Amino acid sequence: MAEEAAYLHFRDDSPHEEPAVTLDSFLADQSNATAVRVEPGDEARALIPHLDRLALIEVSFPSFRDGRGYSTARILREAGYRGELRAEGDVLVDQIPLMRRCGFDSFAPAAPIDAAVLQRSLARYPQPYQKAADGAVPVWKLRHG
């Protein structure tokens, strides 16, 4: 069932299948595309005028150590993007809960993810300390209403 493990999807719709174009191509001459791929060094804010036309933004993680994509995700969600936000590449199971908090709702990890470990990870923390992109209620809000 390796194929099933290749995508992790936390949305009601099904994964968007159209191949993503690079951010440069999208901005230069492929503005009709509905799927865009953002690399760690790309300026994600360049997509903000086009967000309502996009169905998929794929954020690339060439190395699990490179955390720029977490900021990319939050910036896109803060700008109002509602479409599929996919983390693709060197994505490890222990990172997925944090990525969910940053607004990712779809994952295409290069290596398969152990479903049982992931399930435990996602259920583990009862509440976060800080507000982020996932709507989880932070501790200070629980304390003070």
Partner 1 sequence: MYRYDEYDQSIVDARVDEFRDQVRRRLAGEITEDQFKPLRLMNGLYLQLHAYMLRVAVPYGTLDSRQMRMLAHVARTYDRGYGHFTTRQNIQYNWIRLDQAPDILAELATVEMHAIQTSGNCIRNISSDQYAGAAADEVADPRPWAELIRQWSTFHPEFTYLPRKFKIAVIAAEEDRAAMRLHDIGIRLTRRDGVLGATVFVGGGMGRTPMIAHEIRDFVTADDLMSYLEACLRVYNRYGRRDNIYKARIKILLHEIGPDEYRRQVEEEFAKVKALGIDPPAAELARITAMFAPPAFDPAAAGDVADRSDPDFAVWLDQNVRAHRQPGYAIVNISLKPVGGIPGDASADQIDVMADLAQRYGFDELRVTHAQNIVLPHVRIADLKAVWSALVDAGLAEANLDLISDIIACPGLDYCSLANARSIPLAQKIGERFADPARQRDLGELKLKISGCINACGHHHAGHIGILGVDRKGTENFQLLLGGSGAEDVSLGRITGPGFDEDGVVDAIERVTDKYLEVRETGERFVDTYRRVGMTPFKEAIYG
Shortest reach from residue 8's CB to partner 1, in Å? 17
Burial class of 99 by CB neighbour count within 10 A (0 to 12, 13 to 18, 19+): buried
Structure tokens belonging to residue 68: 């720029």
Nearer to partner 1, 31 or 119 (CB): 119
Shortest reach from residue 108's CB to partner 1, in Å? 18
Shortest reach from residue 14's CB to partner 1, in Å? 26
- Helical segments of the chain, H only: 2-6, 23-28, 68-78, 96-102, 115-124, 139-144
Nearer to partner 1, 22 or 66 (CB): 66
Nearer to partner 1, 14 or 130 (CB): 130
Nearer to partner 1, 4 or 144 (CB): 144
Shortest reach from residue 142's CB to partner 1, in Å? 6
Nearer to partner 1, 54 or 91 (CB): 91
Structure tokens belonging to residue 105: 């709702």
Which residues bind to partner 1, rule: CB under 8 A? 40, 64-68, 70-71, 74, 78, 92, 94-95, 97-99, 101-102, 114, 117, 120-121, 124-132, 138-140, 142-144
Shortest reach from residue 51's CB to partner 1, in Å? 15
Question: 76-80, long-range: CB within 8 Å, 24+ apart, which pairs?
Answer: 76/44, 76/47, 76/51, 76/103, 77/102, 77/103, 77/133, 78/133, 79/45, 79/48, 79/51, 80/51
